[in-house]
Amino acid sequence: RDEGEDEGIEPKWKPAMVSDGLIEVCAITSGWHAAMIMGYLKSGIRLAQAKEVIVELFRDGAHAQKAAYLQVDGDAWAQRLPNSRNGEEPVRLHIVHAGSAIILHKKRYRISKE
C-alpha cells in the first residue's frame, strides 16, 4: 500500500504498459492458478504498481512453507525462506525498473477450416 492510502479503498490501477516505467506486482494462489493463467483462463491477482518494490520474505515456524516460488521479468526460481523463529534474517528483494527492451514474440495466426 502506498503511504497515505486509506485501508479499504480499492486502488485505481493504470493499464499495464511496457513503456510506463511501472513494475506490476501480481500473485498466484496455487499451481492450478498458474496453469489457468498459462491457459489464458485466469489472471494473476494484482497487488501493486510501482517504480520500485522491496519485498521481505521469511517463514514463521518449522511447519510453514520452506520456499516461495517467484518470477521476475520471466525468470522463475524457488526462494528458500529463512525461519524467523530461529533468528534468521529475512530475504530482502529490491526490484527496480531499469528501462525497457524490445520484446520479440510470435504472431498469432488463425487456422481457417475450409
Cα–Cα distance for residue pair 60/78, rounded to 1 Å: 18
Per-residue model confidence as pLDDT tens for the chain (114 residues): 444 455 667 778 888 887 788 888 898 888 899 899 889 999 889 998 999 999 999 998 777 889 988 888 778 889 999 998 889 999 999 998 877 666 666 666 555 565
DSSP summary character for residue 38: H
Cα–Cα distance for residue pair 14/54, rounded to 1 Å: 20
Stated pTM of the model: 0.65
Residues forming beta bridges with residue 53, ordered by sequence position: 95
Cα–Cα distance for residue pair 97/100, rounded to 1 Å: 8
